[in-house]
Amino acid sequence: MGDNISLGDRDGVRTPMQWSIDRNGGFSRADPASLVLPPIMDPQYGYLSVNVETQAGDPHSLLNWTRRMLTVRKQSKAFGRGTLKMLSPTNRRVLAYTREYTGPDGKHEIILCVANVSRSAQAVELDLSAYVGMVPVEMLGGNAFPPIGQLSFLLTLAPYGFYWFGLAAENQMPSWHVEPAQSLPDFTTLVLKKRMEELLEAPSRTTLEQGILPNWLQNRRWFAGKDAAIEKVNLAYGVRFGDAQHPVLLSEIEVTGGGQTSRYQLPFGFIAEDQVGTALPQQLALSRVRRGPQVGLITDAFSLENFIRAVLQGMQNSTVLPSDGGEIRFEPTAELAKLGLTAESDVRYLSAEQSNSSVVVGNSLVLKLIRKVASGVHPELEMSAYLTAAGFGNISPLLGAVVRRDAAGEDNLLMIAQGYLSNQGDAWEWTQNNLERALRDELADAMSEQEQHYNALGELKDFAAMLGQRLGEMHQVLAASSENPDFDPQITTQKDASATGKDVVAQIEHALKLLKQHQHELNPADKTLVSRLLEHKKAILSHVQELAKKTAGGLRIRVHGDLHLGQVLVIKGDAYLIDFEGEPARPLRERRGKHSPYKDVSGVLRSFDYAAAMTINVHNVDNTAHAQDARRRVGDRYLSEARQAFIHAYRLAAATLGHAWQDPDGEDAALALFGLEKAAYEVAYEAENRPGWLPVPLHGLYGLLSGLKPFSDLGGE
């Protein structure tokens, strides 16, 4: 070969560069016959099929893939300058190593590279115990994988597949990740002669209350008292339930800590050693037990499928059990019988470790066990029953409930059964996925005609409009005159408006106090915003009171009370509203109160703001200036379009609501007032739980005040 271009064997690198489908592949306008070698005419690899112009317009082409790979590699100096440590997986078909680099600024980069060098799919277990707690973030797509633990990290790879992971801090934990339930490391053995009721008698009761339950509760996600030491646990009552082969004790426990006593529902179930099937009953077990000749475990009965089926049968039969001076009633609706559920219906747990516990039966019913029990009518049951009876279709319909009536005649909701809605996920996760897709399209600088027609931001805008329409329709149902005084709408009086103003003022004062406490943790620009807010505190509080006065004459109805994108299910582009229990931290009386419908509207608008902030601040594997600008463009456009579409659709759907505003600016004042209330609530939540996220509600609060004179010179949201 050498310089002799007449020799063969390297025609692929001597033929004209294939730039386009034009003459000579766009390489030259000369007569094709005068070229040393003609362009490749192969139907698969010829210039009519493979050329730069075509590949540049295809975001999935080899050219654009290579560009992305080079861009990602340039962002991390660890690839070229970091130390190399080879890992030794037992599967020799997989190559794995880490690169680590610490820059002059002290920034530490860790990259994990894993490659399948075989032509068949492979699984590999990697010992990454040195990086426990870190989150592998896939560098090409920015998606977080489950966090690294003490056990081997399992990966599966396609033929010749590979991963580049950046090992990130725990704050990038994927939102879908659920920590496995933690069981007690060592079980105490209890001895029962025959009956489950013996758990309520000494010495078993003493062992449970003083030894087992205080430790067991600390590992439960639904237990809200982790911040205070448990001073006392008391078994409030126990009612036998189920059959002889699968005994259960329906029970509630009273937990005292930090000067407060709360009541939680914890049904006790027995499972014999030879009956243990799935891992969940073992993970939630409290103790070993010897019951006559049988040996087994005492566990949370909700983890037992037989218990779920027994509850369903109890509802179908309208069972009533005597209990502690009252009774436990299993109450079905007429819709339950239509489902045709039987003892053979499948049972599938959604998650046993949330604020409440839920399970799907027969792919048509969701049974939710209420963990934190409170006396009084529960808003989840009340709202579901009312909206179902009114024929509002965009909710999970009520199918039944289990209610305990205590000695004082007060109802306590224990379980609620609702229709199962097969869905594409909640609107928060769905929105995040679409924003990721929009960001990838923006960074690719190339979209096909079909992708332009069905682009992610367009879908988000359409869904925001649909959500606004459905919320307006629900408010129309709740605003209708009713013989039920708990649902009959009211008009906001000046006294009501003044009381609301005082409540919002108190929340904003608390938020400003927390911002001052955390001001030193913010960047200089955000510190300036906080200083401005504190400097003009009196003007802000006066503004809130003026807004509250203008809301007089507005309608007061029952509302969702805690509406955000996580409380909405996406089903074929439609929006379904769920979880009507209100803000869990508030007492039932407040959660059942009547409010302005703009309380729900403001909750959704603030949720849009959080979704945009997640796009701008979290999906940050690519830290180039170009990528940061793209994230901001996508986030800002989404926020603007979603807000406008949502508010426009809501106003159309709720146009006939019976507001009688005394001030012509009453509607805008209500929207601003409840937006400020929600932003203040978010400041308090982030300050107490996620201080790193304080800038999001801070900018939201400031943006809502941008029309006020002291803040008109600085940008808000």
Q: How far apart are CA 149 and CA 79, in angstroms?
A: 25
| Average pLDDT estimate for 516-529 | 89
Least confident segment among 49-53, 227-231, 446-450:
446-450
What is the DSSP annotation of 307-366?
HHHHHHHHHHTT-EEEETTEEEEEEE-HHHHHT---TTS-EEEEESSSSSEEEEETTTEE
Three-state SS string over 14-71 comes to CCCCCCCCCHHHHCCCCCHHHCCCCCCCCCCCCCCCCCHHHHHCCCCCHHHHHHHHHH
Distances 237 to 124, 220, 252, 604 between C-alpha atoms, Å: 50, 21, 6, 41
| Average pLDDT estimate for 371-395 | 94
What is the enclosing helix (H) or strand (E) of 417?
Answer: strand 411-419
**For 221-273, what is each residue's pLDDT tens digit?**
888 877 788 999 999 999 999 887 888 999 999 999 888 899 999 999 988 87
Judge whether 629 and 507 are in contact, CB under 8 Å. Answer: no
Q: How confident is the model at residue 449 (pLDDT cuts 50, 70, 90)?
A: very low
| Average pLDDT estimate for 617-625 | 63
* Token pair in block for residue 41: 């005419």
Q: Which residues contact 539 (CB under 8 A, 6 or more apart)?
A: 708, 709, 710
The angle at the Cα of 245, spanning 239 to 246, to the nearest 5 degrees, equals 50
Q: How confident is the model at residue 703 (pLDDT cuts 50, 70, 90)?
A: confident
Q: How confident is the model at residue 465 (pLDDT cuts 50, 70, 90)?
A: very high
> In this predicted structure, what is the pLDDT of residue 181?
52
**For 421-439, what is each residue's pLDDT tens digit?**
999 889 998 998 888 888 8
Nearest of 232, 219, 222, 224 to residue 259 by alpha carbon: 232
How many residues appear in the chain? 717
Only one residue has tokens 């439609």, namely: 574
Least confident segment among 9-18, 34-43, 189-198, 205-214:
9-18
Q: Which residues contact 408 (CB under 8 A, 6 or more apart)?
A: 375
Nearest of 505, 299, 474 to residue 390 by alpha carbon: 474
**Between 491 and 21, the higher pLDDT residue:** 491
Sign (positive or negative) of CA dihedral 470, 472, 475, 476: negative
Enumerate long-range contacts of 55-62, CB under 8 Å, 24 or more apart: 56/446, 57/446, 57/448, 58/446, 58/448, 59/440, 59/441, 59/444, 59/445, 59/446, 59/447, 59/448, 59/451
* Token pair in block for residue 665: 């600016």
* Token pair in block for residue 506: 């108190």
Judge whether 111 and 164 are in contact, CB under 8 Å. Answer: yes
Judge whether 359 and 302 are in contact, CB under 8 Å. Answer: yes
The CA R_g of the chain, rounded to the nearest whole Å, is: 31
Nearest of 391, 409, 245, 252 to residue 326 by alpha carbon: 409
| The pLDDT of residue 448 is above 70 | no
CB atoms within 10 A of CB 73: 15
Mean pLDDT of the chain, nearest integer: 86
CATH of domain 422-482+563-593+598-656: 3.90.1200.10
Strand partners, 96: 114
CB atoms within 10 A of CB 235: 19
**The pTM is what?**
0.78
| The pLDDT of residue 217 is above 80 | yes
Count the helix, strand and coil residues of the chain and give each as a percent rounded to the nearest 5: 40, 20, 40
> In this predicted structure, what is the pLDDT of residue 453?
42
Which strands form 108-116's sheet, in the order they lie side by side?
Answer: 83-86, 94-102, 108-116, 162-168, 135-138
| The pLDDT of residue 717 is above 80 | no
Terminal alpha carbon distance of the chain: 65
| The pLDDT of residue 152 is above 70 | yes
Burial degree of 335 (CB within 10 A; 0-12, 13-18, 19+): middle
Q: How far apart are CA 169 and CA 135, in angstroms?
A: 6
> In this predicted structure, what is the pLDDT of residue 352?
44
Q: Quick one: DSSP state of residue 89?
A: -
| The pLDDT of residue 495 is above 80 | yes
Burial 363-400 (b: 16+ CB within 10 A, else e): ebbbbbbbbbbbbebbbbbbbbebbbeeebebbbbbbb
| Average pLDDT estimate for 372-397 | 94
Only one residue has tokens 């505003």, namely: 661
Q: Find which of 9-13, 628-632, 677-681 is predicted with most confidence, using mean pLDDT.
A: 677-681
> In this predicted structure, what is the pLDDT of residue 716?
44
Q: How far apart are CA 643 and CA 632, in angstroms?
A: 16
Q: How far apart are CA 188 and CA 152, in angstroms?
A: 30
Residues of the chain with CATH 3.90.1200.10: 422-482+563-593+598-656
Give me the numbers of helices (H) and strands (E) for the chain, helices first please.
20, 26
| Average pLDDT estimate for 492-519 | 93
Least confident segment among 1-5, 132-136, 155-159, 514-518:
1-5
Sign (positive or negative) of CA dihedral 332, 594, 260, 368: positive
* Token pair in block for residue 453: 């027609």
Enumerate long-range contacts of 683-688, CB under 8 Å, 24 or more apart: 683/511, 683/514, 683/515, 684/507, 684/510, 684/511, 684/514, 687/514, 687/515, 687/517, 687/518, 688/514
| The pLDDT of residue 648 is above 80 | yes
Q: How far apart are CA 415 and CA 301, in angstroms?
A: 13
| The pLDDT of residue 286 is above 70 | yes
Q: Which residues contact 179 (CB under 8 A, 6 or more apart)?
A: 221, 353
The angle at the Cα of 226, spanning 224 to 232, to the nearest 5 degrees, equals 90
Residues of the chain with CATH 2.60.40.1180: 84-172
Q: Class assignment of domain 84-172?
A: mainly beta
Q: How confident is the model at residue 304 (pLDDT cuts 50, 70, 90)?
A: very high
What is the enclosing helix (H) or strand (E) of 429?
Answer: helix 427-444
| The pLDDT of residue 711 is above 70 | no
C-alpha torsion angle, residues 662, 665, 671, 675 (rounded to 10): -110
> In this predicted structure, what is the pLDDT of residue 46?
82
Q: How far apart are CA 4 and CA 566, in angstroms?
A: 68
**For 305-348, what is each residue's pLDDT tens digit?**
999 999 999 999 999 999 887 999 999 999 999 999 988 888 98
What is the enclosing helix (H) or strand (E) of 190?
Answer: strand 189-192
